[in-house]
Each structure stands twice: as C-alpha cells, then as structure tokens.
C-alpha cells in the first residue's frame, strides 16, 4: 500500500496519488490555502469514518441483519487531558474524535449494541488507537 503526496506549487495545495485515484488536499483560505480539497484532519476523519461504515456494513451483511443505511459523522476537537476519563495524560490537551453513527433498519437493542462494539474494531480505529511506529527518511 502506497500513497504519494506532491506539492503543486500553489500555496499549501497537495496532489494525492493513491492507486488509480488522484485528488487534492489543501488548507482553508482563512489560513492561507486555496480550499481546493480536504484538510489533513478531514482526511484522517474520512479514513476513520469510511472504515467504520464499511466494517459495519460487512458485519451486518454477514449476519444478514436488516441494515438499510449507515452514516457516520465525525467531530475532532482538542480537550484538556483532565477532562478525559480514559486518557493516561493528566496535563495538556488531547485529541478527541467522536463518531456519531446512524444505522437505519429494524434492529433490536442487542444488535445495535453489537454494532457499536464492531465499530471500535474497524482497522483504522485499531491503527489510530494501537501502538504504532511512524518514521521518516530521505528518499534515495
């Protein structure tokens, strides 16, 4: 899996190449961008949201549950660490990502509870929460 990001030479605008797809990422005009594409945080939230929805769809289909439509809205904010019950940090600020999930279909409470558990098992969720190593090196 590989993604290539290239500056376009137009402010903060970036060309993103992934597989057969090309799109722009950018910053809003009020911070000096051209607003020609999603911001890096938009892309992060989109990755988590799409993975959540796809994971729920796969699970519901496998179980043959009557799920008609899935929608995931995500919100990112910075909160004080002391306001975070599940965070190890006690000082400073931490990132909070909230997923608001809507599932349309005739599901009972147990099915809905199970889908919420499954939402937390999507691969992108696990990547964001799990131990990771992110490195940088110069190209040859």
pLDDT at 100 over 80: yes
Q: What is the CATH number of domain 40-129?
A: 3.30.300.20
Tokens 């970036």 map to which residue?
Answer: 14
Identify the CA nearest to 52 among candidates 131, 132, 116. Answer: 116
pLDDT for 85 equals 64
Helical (H) or strand (E) element with 17: strand 14-18
How far is C-alpha 81 from the chain's CA centre? Answer: 21
118 vs 88, more confident: 118
pLDDT at 88 over 80: no
pTM above 0.75, yes or no: yes
pLDDT for 49 equals 98
pLDDT at 55 over 90: yes
Structure tokens that stand for 128 in this block: 């964001």
Distance, CA of 47 to CA of 124 (rounded, Å) = 7
pLDDT at 90 over 70: no
């Amino acid at each position: 899996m590989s993604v290539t990001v290239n500056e376009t030479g137009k402010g903060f605008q970036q060309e993103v190449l992934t597989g057969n797809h090309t799109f722009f990422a950018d910053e809003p005009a009020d911070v000096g961008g051209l607003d020609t594409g999603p911001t890096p945080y938009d892309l992060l939230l989109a990755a988590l949201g799409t993975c959540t929805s796809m994971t729920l769809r796969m699970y519901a289909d496998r179980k043959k549950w009557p799920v008609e439509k899935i929608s995931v809205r995500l919100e990112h904010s910075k909160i004080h660490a002391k306001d975070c019950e599940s965070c190890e940090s006690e000082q400073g600020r931490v990132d909070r990502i909230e997923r608001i999930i809507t599932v349309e279909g005739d599901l009972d409470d147990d099915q809905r509870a199970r889908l919420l558990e499954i939402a937390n098992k999507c691969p992108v969720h696990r990547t964001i929460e799990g131990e990771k190593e992110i490195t940088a090196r110069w190209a040859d």
